[in-house]
Structure 1
């Protein structure tokens, strides 16, 4: 491995942060981790995250973690921003229309974003009501109970990583820029699992349906705890049946399908659990590893500290005061993590600015995208949307697994109809190369020699078996930046384990705080993948920023699991600060009471209500009008409401049951109460705020036809439309790219096609 850079990658950048929540604070923290000077400007009353919702005190350990490495000050933002490169601002409503300080790159984070009918209307909200508004609430839980929130504010962490990545891209572009990030849109993108696209492709009826169902197999009980599975292919399902000693079920065609297992869920679950309960978690993981079945222990904020893999990678360290433990930086440069950020004294100093021609900030960057599924593909799509020339490379022998998710095997060109693939692969050119054939591998090597970035998220052995580990790639191109995104990293006892979003959600503890009280842990619907993709984009763009000054290439390692572990950081922080690991509380959470989702009149009609302040409670009390609420003065304070939250839930259920959800939400919102209808995720493109801001764009796809698809969930000044190239059909650009980029003649391309090295069908 090469030595790390002599100075932090972003040492020449100054960031001013005016945050109010996790999103803005994590954006500043991750830039500080990469070496930027970050100045946190607090209001005179202190940062909102300082107050611990569990105790009411002003010493929340999460704030200490998120503010580490920053200089915290109070004062005039405009004066402090003089000479800054990036300004991060977080708003309770819409970004202010008043002039911003004179900073080249401004990032605004708000619940609704700028523009659209809800922006600037003072609409009350919480993270919980945003989860209801975006539709994901109705995807989580079990059919015979209420919808469940995802614990731990996952979308806010992803929004922070996106803010940092977008800001670094804008800095690279050199021109003045503003990013506008809507927490509602990020929630929809990272937790809706592209159900909207799936429904459009299938022509789903508008009739209400119950969409809550447990992934199966998923989190299962063992003899001594819990184990998590995620089967992403037919081969893995067949191997799983061998694992649980039921090879006879290989002949049961119904159980070999997702729909069949859901239809016979009770029977199937008993088959699985009758085996898992007879074995310890360690025994199951050892056997699953031999069969390469994605499986994981289901950790909490205490048990993860003793996991052999996190210990081997040194992932948790004491904070500066020794009061708690926290994650280290979740990515590495040339095999080393960035050193702990150093607080610096801010200086007001002018900085020279470049002013290249207007355009997308990553124009001129060439990226070879070997990414698969969501995390790797999302990183590449983010780069492509911001202007990079991204070339997606698939093997005709092993296409991107996202193509088969949702595809109907009986349909013509079924691999072109996978709704996940369509949702996460905008703006790319695409070729196919069989890399097991020497000719295909030789073509890839030619392309590496002239690329800026090589991106992949395979298990480590895949690239190493091809001779394309970092040493092999660097020998072909010393100035390339190679981004590797294996599930568990390039070192440690789990380095060769396969893992997907569900796997690392189980491993990291994200499942542990999502679920019904007293029930099993529940996967929170996929946020680990976009978090991994956005986090990797931050690290990659930081490496490219450094390369612009040195000309030197770099290996960037951004494990999917470590991004998820960062998103679950508060579990470890709270557990080590208090001695108690947070558990599952359904829709209850520290700092809010009452909070829940209540069945209303009509099928699958749910009202979400979330009370954070005494003033909101007083407004709710007046709307609901229960005499008991007026008479019990103990309810006027949070502690009294928290003590009675189960009773308050029952009373709200009774009140909501005879009302239309839309009418009840509108009445509560007018009174200043955070409330929302739990939206149907199948038709979220109809949401007035998201459609008003253009989060969904109509794509004309040669196989799927005209379809509305979500684009990257933020706006960038000057960009009216994100999707310039439709998600590519398999090998769509073979001849163009192989000629233009690889330098092959028509005859050479014909030979590759004839030998099956290149193809447009799997």
Structure 2
């Protein structure tokens, strides 16, 4: 891509969006955090309007809005402001799809529209009532979380909203680098919540075609377990982890027990398994557990709350929390670094009024923002895969590099047995997150493989990876060497805990950083164990990384120079859990698990309907919805009940209110209950089975899944990115590649290897098309 020069722009690497002007109209965490991220990366953000409060208290609002300018106005004023002093980006969050006339008035400004249902589809523009909780119900998030002896539970930290806002900021920063088309971005909260919380269950079901009978809710095992002085989070990510762990806890007899080698088997004998695990964990402190597990590289982390995270040595060493400028609480710093420097927030908000135009509008020769960009993708699992697929969706040529000795672990997810033909091409996480790429295999532990990787890097614009920091560095491909090889390259590194700090080398996956960050602490039943929300740390990490990379690429257009971008997986999760630290340091309030209840909801819960394992979610967020609920239920006496006159009273009486609602719902068909409540203006949603989420009437009508023919998994509906770019009919231009599918195309056709040399690489197993030992 051709670099632009701008002699009047300072080379402030840690503020890559310096000079970009943003207007924000937000009504939840999603829109406000999109503006927060853009502001953190150096953009000038003006908040014109939206909700006066985000429902989480003034300190939380202050964290999200600090450093933004404030002007008062309506939506017409927002549009006038965007035209009078040209804005680069508008973040527009509304309770439903806006009038198309409003959008047409923004000219060539990039507009990220955040709404519950998106700009099209059967529910868009209908005024259908909703809440974050009912979005989780419709998305399939609730169905498998919790205990079969109780009700299903939501995630506790608004994870879907955080991810939606982060994706909006990243998509807008990418779209800014394209031509005149595709400037409207459609970010639907339902799509984002599905992507964030349902773990590609629909892909798993489409490949394996299980029975449609309800599947039981169950906790991961092992996951969060009690220790002598707190809680320890565990994750057995591999067969080797399992073998080491059972020896560590004193049960070597389980090494030959086939049932105990699988999650399904352990769950079938969960009482026996849990007793053995906890008999070991409770005899040790959290740190003793971590030290013992780390010796075997078993992923583990302390399970933090808003109080204990502040003392964790990793966040202390990285100085991740800082006093908010008003001095009343601690808040997280931006979860990204550019050339080793974390962006520094302004000490005070700028004076009211719009900034002068900068004249720094990006120019591109193609409508696709990243057309011509060459990417070497070493990303693994979900977080790394998202970044590469998003780059490909915006036009980049993405070459995913694996090794036959160490395939991407996401290929093993989805329960496909190794006896199935080409089982490694059927992993649900791999198929769900690796479209728009080519695939080559290189064993970089061999000199020839490393040399070929270097040749790919020499001609690339981007190198991305999310290994443990030691992996590339031990191969002699740390940032200094990569920068020497290609000074124009932007390198994105996504370690679990960061490139620095005492936990630098700790192994970590989404489950691990959910435990570490506080996301587990807020998810669960009141008085019960902390519970993994199951997944959101990965898409948040991927979205955060994509935003940082898009900002760095925009900066490179100005400077022509490469940059190191760091986006630690754990720090994205810490942002999602930030309300806990803010409340603790501001008011001494320790936020805890609350099941499905929420401070902003008068009534909120999941209720069994229809007599079997079917549930609906109901929220009441204001007095009008309360009256409508009472009228639908026919509980006229509640209108006269003095205790239920306001939100505080209704929350205090939650047990009896929920019990009576549950009794009314139990004898009715769930679809009928939801239809009646929605027609009356009460947020309600069916608790969808995530295995069949692609059949959801709104998502299917919106085309959120694309039917894709795959060589070994069959023709199945695949999710793509959970947002749209208007004028771009599909995100999926390439199906997920098979292992080594493009070895010849890239190595011979593009790097110029001879056929003889290529054959030698195959013979010496430097390259291949099957995992080692399976061909």
| TM-score range for the pair, normalised by the shorter chain length | over 0.9
Q: What CA distance in whole angstroms lies between the structure 1 residues aligned with 2:673 and 2:731?
A: 36
Are the equivalent residues in 1 in contact too, given 2:88–2:361 (CA < 8 A)?
Answer: no
Structure 1 segment 626-705 matched on structure 2, within 5 A: 626-705=635-714
Are the equivalent residues in 1 in contact too, given 2:14–2:339 (CA < 8 A)?
Answer: no
1:33 and 2:40 matched: yes
Q: What CA distance in whole angstroms lies between the structure 2 residues aligned with 1:243 and 1:720?
A: 53
Residue 353 (structure 1) shift: 5.3
Of 90, 95, 98 in structure 1, the residue corresponding to residue 93 of structure 2 is 90
Structure 1 segment 306-705 matched on structure 2, within 5 A: 306-341=311-346, 343-344=349-350, 345-347=353-355, 349=357, 351=359, 356=364, 359-406=367-414, 407-705=416-714
1:63 and 2:66 matched: no
Of 143, 148, 154 in structure 2, the residue corresponding to residue 149 of structure 1 is 154
The secondary structure found in structure 2 opposite 1:715 is strand
1:127 and 2:135 matched: no
Residue 282 (structure 1) shift: 1.1
1:293 and 2:298 matched: yes
Q: What CA distance in whole angstroms lies between the structure 2 residues aligned with 1:143 and 1:364?
A: 51
Q: Tell me the residue number matched to 2:4.
A: none
Residue 6 (structure 1) shift: 6.1
Cα deviation code 1:389-410 (max 9, x no counterpart): 1110001100000001122111
Q: What CA distance in whole angstroms lies between the structure 1 residues aligned with 2:507 and 2:430?
A: 20
1:218 and 2:223 matched: yes
Structure 1 segment 262-273 matched on structure 2, within 5 A: 262-273=267-278
Residue 741 (structure 1) shift: 3.8
Of 202, 210, 213 in structure 2, the residue corresponding to residue 204 of structure 1 is 210
Of 141, 157, 171 in structure 2, the residue corresponding to residue 136 of structure 1 is 141
Are the equivalent residues in 2 in contact too, given 1:38–1:70 (CA < 8 A)?
Answer: yes
Structure 1 segment 15-34 matched on structure 2, within 5 A: 15-34=22-41
Cα deviation code 1:719-750 (max 9, x no counterpart): 11211111111001000011244332222211
Residue 350 (structure 1) shift: 7.8
Q: What CA distance in whole angstroms lies between the structure 2 residues aligned with 1:740 and 1:474?
A: 26
The secondary structure found in structure 2 opposite 1:139 is coil
Are the equivalent residues in 2 in contact too, given 1:139–1:192 (CA < 8 A)?
Answer: no
Q: TM-score, normalised by structure 2?
A: 0.95
Cα deviation code 1:595-623 (max 9, x no counterpart): 00011113211121111101100100111
Are the equivalent residues in 2 in contact too, given 1:432–1:758 (CA < 8 A)?
Answer: yes
Are the equivalent residues in 2 in contact too, given 1:95–1:113 (CA < 8 A)?
Answer: no
Are the equivalent residues in 2 in contact too, given 1:228–1:296 (CA < 8 A)?
Answer: yes
Are the equivalent residues in 2 in contact too, given 1:305–1:311 (CA < 8 A)?
Answer: yes
Are the equivalent residues in 2 in contact too, given 1:134–1:684 (CA < 8 A)?
Answer: yes
Cα deviation code 1:671-718 (max 9, x no counterpart): 110011111111111111111111100111011111111110011111
1:80 and 2:77 matched: no
The secondary structure found in structure 2 opposite 1:522 is coil
Q: What CA distance in whole angstroms lies between the structure 1 residues aligned with 2:622 and 2:748?
A: 63
When structure 1 is superposed on structure 2, of 640-649 and 338-347 the one drifting more is 338-347
Q: What CA distance in whole angstroms lies between the structure 1 residues aligned with 2:221 and 2:436?
A: 34
Of 88, 108, 112 in structure 2, the residue corresponding to residue 107 of structure 1 is 112
Are the equivalent residues in 2 in contact too, given 1:86–1:103 (CA < 8 A)?
Answer: no
The secondary structure found in structure 2 opposite 1:42 is strand
Residue 540 (structure 1) shift: 0.7
Structure 2 residue ranges without an equivalent (≥5): 1-9
Q: What CA distance in whole angstroms lies between the structure 1 residues aligned with 2:363 and 2:453?
A: 35
Are the equivalent residues in 2 in contact too, given 1:479–1:551 (CA < 8 A)?
Answer: yes
1:169 and 2:174 matched: yes
Of 181, 188, 201 in structure 1, the residue corresponding to residue 187 of structure 2 is 181
Are the equivalent residues in 2 in contact too, given 1:87–1:103 (CA < 8 A)?
Answer: no
Residue 669 (structure 1) shift: 0.6
The secondary structure found in structure 2 opposite 1:463 is helix
1:195 and 2:198 matched: no
The secondary structure found in structure 1 opposite 2:616 is strand
Q: What CA distance in whole angstroms lies between the structure 1 residues aligned with 2:729 and 2:627?
A: 43
Q: What CA distance in whole angstroms lies between the structure 1 residues aligned with 2:270 and 2:419?
A: 24
The secondary structure found in structure 2 opposite 1:726 is coil
Residues 682 and 398 of structure 1: CA distance in aligned 2, closer, same or farther (over 3 Å): same
Residue 266 (structure 1) shift: 1.4
Cα deviation code 1:74-126 (max 9, x no counterpart): 13112221310011100101122223333421110000001111111111000
The secondary structure found in structure 2 opposite 1:727 is coil
Q: What CA distance in whole angstroms lies between the structure 1 residues aligned with 2:236 and 2:633?
A: 46
Are the equivalent residues in 2 in contact too, given 1:37–1:343 (CA < 8 A)?
Answer: no
Paired residues in the alignment total: 750
Are the equivalent residues in 2 in contact too, given 1:403–1:418 (CA < 8 A)?
Answer: yes
Q: Tell me the residue number matched to 1:55.
A: none
Are the equivalent residues in 2 in contact too, given 1:456–1:485 (CA < 8 A)?
Answer: yes
The secondary structure found in structure 1 opposite 2:176 is helix
Q: What CA distance in whole angstroms lies between the structure 1 residues aligned with 2:154 and 2:382?
A: 22
1:282 and 2:287 matched: yes
Of 715, 728, 737 in structure 2, the residue corresponding to residue 719 of structure 1 is 728
Residues 159 and 631 of structure 1: CA distance in aligned 2, closer, same or farther (over 3 Å): same
Are the equivalent residues in 2 in contact too, given 1:143–1:210 (CA < 8 A)?
Answer: no
Q: TM-score, normalised by structure 1?
A: 0.96
Are the equivalent residues in 2 in contact too, given 1:618–1:636 (CA < 8 A)?
Answer: no
Are the equivalent residues in 2 in contact too, given 1:175–1:354 (CA < 8 A)?
Answer: no
Are the equivalent residues in 1 in contact too, given 2:179–2:366 (CA < 8 A)?
Answer: no
Structure 1 residue ranges without an equivalent (≥5): 53-58
Residue 537 (structure 1) shift: 0.6
Of 727, 738, 755 in structure 2, the residue corresponding to residue 729 of structure 1 is 738
Q: What CA distance in whole angstroms lies between the structure 2 residues aligned with 1:279 and 1:560?
A: 27
Are the equivalent residues in 2 in contact too, given 1:4–1:333 (CA < 8 A)?
Answer: no
Q: What CA distance in whole angstroms lies between the structure 2 residues aligned with 1:603 and 1:382?
A: 40
